[in-house]
Amino acid sequence: MLMTPPLVLLIEDEPLILMDVEVALQDAGFEVVTAGNAAKAITIFEKRSATICAVVTDIRLGKGDSGWDVGRHVREAVPTMPVVYMSGDSSGEWTAQGVPNSIMIAKPFAFPQLITAISTLLNEVK
């Protein structure tokens, strides 16, 4: 029996970083749906919350809501949703702004760090 790969919602406003992280996640065996801003991410999450297994989000997403807002939104809908934050400059705000039991990864990071973070949170949910 084939297992469906876990679906990760990836939110990143920099197209090149988005593509690199998406490929790294796919190479690690995840299915990925992407969004370039918080509004699109929340729309995707609303439609697919039953199938999304984890959320990976940048903090600064241009105009509109931030990754912090996305994290809070998904946790209100699914309290056990694994959330991994990525940021080049907002790591210090994580304890105040991030949702509980989330992980912050500072940019630049090695892709195995991200894969380990997602896998760790997914294993805690099981």
pLDDT in tens, 61-95: 999 999 999 999 999 999 999 999 999 888 889 99
Domain count, the chain: 1
**pLDDT of 120 over the 60 cut:** yes
Q: Residue 16: which domain range? A: 7-120
**pLDDT of 1 over the 60 cut:** no
**Alpha-carbon distance values, 75 to 14, 22, 45, 50, 62 (Å):** 24, 22, 11, 13, 22
Would residue 2 count as lying in a domain?
no
Would residue 22 count as lying in a domain?
yes
What DSSP state is assigned to residue 41? Answer: H
pLDDT in tens, 2-32: 678 999 999 999 999 999 999 999 999 999 9
Q: Look up the CATH number of the domain holding residue 12.
A: 3.40.50.2300
pLDDT in tens, 87-109: 988 888 999 999 999 999 999 99
Would residue 87 count as lying in a domain?
yes
Would residue 126 count as lying in a domain?
no
- 93: buried, middle or exposed (CB in 10 Å: 19+, 13-18, 0-12)? middle
Work out the average pLDDT over 36-58.
97
Coil vs helix vs strand at 109: coil
